[in-house]
Structure 1
């Protein structure tokens, strides 16, 4: 078999894996969007102060951005075409999914603010809950993988220097 054909098949498989990852993420984000949308029809939502409803609307917008970013790799793959899969397409698609995590984390944190405010009517508790949510998600989705990546690269460098 020709090397370019093998590489193309490997790239095609990698792109399909990225699309499958997006397919796994998407239902959860869509369910979150549905719950966010339903909240405005609740009687208690109308009683919220304007800053709390604004937090909810901005959170809703953040989730829409996350949905768009998660769905883009599949559309990109279909429009550009499987025959044109490339390392650049894979890198961009992977980047889009990683980028979706930032607005998703912000949207979840803003929703946490709204939920805590509705249940406690306490602004300090609501802010603390939102910040804690953002901190936890940022640590797990950004800091931890970045740390592990640096650690793995450092270990590889040490192994190469030992040779």
Structure 2
């Protein structure tokens, strides 16, 4: 029997469970992916701005690292969809769920790196490195706490 979020238990055979979990995974990715894509688009346009020429070498390295982490995050977040499409009707949803979950978690972790890098870069341009580090660190801590900390803390409590 499966435990539903409303506290009720419903009979669910393994196939139904896999189908439900796949739908949940793909729906979650539909929520996460647009934010990463918007950040990626923003980063792609940065070199076209007038101020990009004013970046220091360190800022350029940070920009490129942030761009790469965003591109890779996008790839990881799209992996379950591509896998599902390429292996359509090949009866391996359990493997898809394992691969998809790992890819989604990795994509979310890289998104945190990307957001932190973007916040640092913008704050460094507006203020200075010390404040930029403070802002980026605070934003990163919020993301890590909300996206990973709460779930991992609950896992520890459940054990």
TM-score, length-scaled by structure 2: 0.85
Where 1:116 maps in the other structure, the secondary structure is: helix
* Alpha-carbon distance, 1:8 to partner: 2.3
Query: 4+ residue stretches of structure 1 with deviation over 3 A?
Result: none
Q: Distance in 2 between matches of 1:82 and 1:14?
A: 16
Secondary structure of the structure 2 residue equivalent to 1:82: coil
Shift of 1:22: 1.0
SS at match of 2:48: coil
Compare the two structures and name the one with the higher helix fraction.
Answer: 1
Distance 1:37 1:52 in 2: 15
Deviations 1:70-120 (A, max 9, x none): 000011111122341332321221121011111111111111111001112
Q: Match of 1:24?
A: 31
Cα deviation for residue 148 of structure 1 reads 1.4
2:126 aligned residue (93, 106, 119)? 119
- For 2:152 and 2:129, the matched residues in 1 are separated by 33
Any gaps of 5 or more consecutive residues in structure 1? 1-5, 155-163
Q: Which of the numbers 6, 26, 46 marks the counterpart of 2:53?
A: 46
For the pair 1:55 / 2:65, whether they are aligned, the reply is no
Partner of 1:89: 96
Q: Relative contact order (alpha carbons < 8 A, sep ≥ 6): 1 or 2 greater? A: 1
Cα shift at 1:16: 2.3
Cα-Cα RMSD: 1.5
Q: Which residue of 2 aligns with 1:74?
A: 81
Which whole-Å CA distance do the structure 2 matches of 1:59 and 1:141 have between them? 19
1:105 matches 2:149: no
The alpha carbon displacement at 1:128 in A equals 1.7
Aligned counterpart for 1:35 among listed residues 31, 38, 42:
42
* Structure 1 stretch displaced more, 76-85 or 88-97: 76-85
Q: CA deviation at 1:146?
A: 0.1
Relative distance call for 1:73 and 1:23 in structure 2 (3 A) is same
